[in-house]
Amino acid sequence: MRMNDIIEKKRDGQALTKEEINFFIEGYTNNSIPDYQASALLMAIYFQDMNDEERANLTMAMVNSGEQIDLSAIEGVKVDKHSTGGVGDTTTLVLGPLVAACGVPVAKMSGRGLGHTGGTIDKLEAIDGFHVELSSEQFVKQVNEIKVAVIGQSGNLTPADKKLYALRDVTSTVNSIPLIASSIMSKKIAAGAGAIVLDVKTGDGAFMKTTEDARKLAKAMVQIGNSVGRQTMAIISDMSQPLGRAIGNALEVQEAIDTLKGKGPDDLTELCLTLGSQMVVVGEKADTLEEARIMLQKAIDDGSALEIFKQFIKWQGGNEKVVDDTALLPKADFIFEVSAKNAGFVTYMEADEIGTAAMLLGAGRATKESEIDLAVGIMLNKKVGDQVDEGESLATIYANSENVQEVMNKLHENIHIEAERKEAPPLVYEIIT
């Protein structure tokens, strides 16, 4: 087999065979295929697309390029959730204990990552003593006993994706549906997911700016998952404004606890019930989304989800008293209110810019080396559609520095107040099963 022929075939719009895709992925991973040939093929895929079979084959070739996590010692269908990323997305913290309370095993490998706030692990580390350094035996035992555990990233998973993603970044081929879909799905499958639920975000704060693109990506990933034996469902959800009210690590832990107590913000609660229903169905603990939703609501109402959250914290070395006393979370030294300059209605909040404001406070990492300040962040006191009086607080800034002028300005600039009320965009655009 020759790489030139594979490039030519794709350039001319033909479908690649499984053998050709494997040849490319293996060769690129072991450095026998150079970057310039890989770049040419990526650009051909960008323009010519891939059919369903090619996408599934590409995904599994990337899974097979490295190690795979073996979760077979855990009973039941291991369900993983993936969000394409947004601002103040607190869902994972809520969903872990919530679906665990319905009997679905959540064996999550999570990262820290770059972004407006920390990743799931950073957020959990806002709880005193919490750690994610579990041996694989401890990890398996914990999931079997209490149905939920979170472990830090380990192992050489999907090396092909790591190399290809870096190459795509510098060859303007990131934005291709088959390449994004196979990249995301290969990582979930290599991490041991037996079933997958996807939250594809759309809007200003999201990777996919339009619902049309978000729908294409969601359908592509659901198709891949189902065709390789991992039942997959997806939703398309709004990320034009931040999710919930809290943006920042300790603040989001508190928000997750409130939500597990049934007192969380409406949008975050609704999103957790929607995604959670899909997780319970693909985890084979309910036959329909409606039935699953009733189970989840019950787990909130009777306190069982909250109880699992406590046990989860305790098993991983954290102080579970935080659940009853959120004053034990890290606290910022300074609190500032962002007051409305005029009366009216909030018509728009630019998620991305508000996320950047949280990062300026130190809630997220700009580079891999940055230190995160777990205590700082922003609480939104108003959301799109809300009425405001002049001087009323739009948001509260939690800072560890007195100099927050830039953050204050950014929030004023990006929380738009107008005389006419505008409806908030729908939270969930589409459910794909």
User: From the candidates 83, 110, 182, 183, which is the catalytic residue?
Assistant: 183
184 near ligand URA (CB under 6 A) = yes
65 near ligand URA (CB under 6 A) = no
Tell me how far, at minimum, the Cβ of 44 lies from ligand URA, in Å.
Answer: 17
Strand blocks (E) in 24-75 = none
The Cβ-side half-sphere exposure at 68, using a 13 Å CA radius, reads: 16
Residue 401 annotated in active site: no
The smaller minimum CB distance to ligand URA, of residues 165 and 429, is found at 165
CA 15/CA 53 separation, integer angstroms: 9
Tell me how far, at minimum, the Cβ of 136 lies from Ca ion, in Å.
Answer: 31
Of 233, 207, 255, whose CA–CA distance to 92 is shortest? 255
CA 110/CA 90 separation, integer angstroms: 14
Tell me how far, at minimum, the Cβ of 85 lies from ligand URA, in Å.
Answer: 8
Determine which residue in the list 183, 237, 269, 277 makes contact with ligand URA, applying CB under 6 A: 183
The smaller minimum CB distance to ligand URA, of residues 179 and 191, is found at 179
Structural element, H or E, at residue 148: strand 148-152
Tell me how far, at minimum, the Cβ of 352 lies from ligand URA, in Å.
Answer: 16
**Which residue's Cβ has the minimum distance to ligand URA?**
183
Stretch that binds ligand URA, among 148-156, 179-187, 331-339, 345-353 (CB under 6 A): 179-187
CA 188/CA 213 separation, integer angstroms: 21
User: From the candidates 78, 116, 163, 168, which is the catalytic residue?
Assistant: 168
Pairing of strands 393-399, 106-110: unpaired
Task: State the binding partner of 246 from ligand URA, Ca ion, none, CB within 5 to 8 A by kind.
Answer: Ca ion
- Residue 374: which region, alpha, beta or left (left: phi > 0; alpha: psi -120 to 50)? alpha
Tell me how far, at minimum, the Cβ of 179 lies from ligand URA, in Å.
Answer: 6
397 near ligand URA (CB under 6 A) = no
Other Cβ atoms within 10 Å of 325 Cβ, number: 9
322 near ligand URA (CB under 6 A) = no
Strand blocks (E) in 63-133 = 79-83, 106-110
Residues in 152-171 that interact with ligand URA by CB under 6 A: 165
Q: Which amino acid is at 353?
A: E
Task: State the binding partner of 184 from ligand URA, Ca ion, none, CB within 5 to 8 A by kind.
Answer: ligand URA
User: From the candidates 123, 163, 187, 383, which is the catalytic residue?
Assistant: 187
83 near ligand URA (CB under 6 A) = no
Residues at the contact surface with Ca ion, assessed by CB under 5 A = 88, 90, 244, 246
180 near ligand URA (CB under 6 A) = yes
- DSSP assignment of 233-264, as one string? EEEEEE-SS-SSSEESHHHHHHHHHHHHTT-S
Take residue 85 and report the two structure tokens written for it: 């990323």
232 near ligand URA (CB under 6 A) = no
Structural element, H or E, at residue 41: helix 35-48
Task: State the binding partner of 355 from Ca ion, ligand URA, none, CB within 5 to 8 A by kind.
Answer: none
Cα–Cα separations (whole angstroms), residue 261 to 271, 288, 349: 15, 24, 27
CA 380/CA 354 separation, integer angstroms: 10
109 near ligand URA (CB under 6 A) = no
Residue 183 annotated in active site: yes
Task: State the binding partner of 180 from Ca ion, ligand URA, none, CB within 5 to 8 A by kind.
Answer: ligand URA
Q: Rule CB under 6 A: which residues touch ligand URA?
A: 165, 179-180, 183-184
Supply the residues annotated as catalytic: 82, 161, 168, 183, 187
